[in-house]
Amino acid sequence: MLFITCVKVNPGMVKEAGDFGDKTLKNPPKGVKFLQVYHTLGRYDALWIYEAEDAKVIEDFLHDSRAVATTETWVAFAREI
Identify the CATH number of the domain in which residue 27 sits.
Answer: 3.30.70.920
Distance between CA atoms of residues 74 and 37, nearest Å? 15
Residues 1-35 pLDDT 10s:
999 999 999 999 999 999 999 999 999 989 999 99
Torsion region of 54: left, alpha or beta (phi above 0 gives left; psi -120 to 50 gives alpha): beta
68 assigned to some structural domain: yes
What domain range includes position 7?
2-76
Per the CB < 8 A criterion, the answer to whether 15 and 23 are in contact is no
Torsion region of 31: left, alpha or beta (phi above 0 gives left; psi -120 to 50 gives alpha): left
pTM to 2 decimals? 0.88
33 assigned to some structural domain: yes
Q: How many domains does the chain have?
A: 1
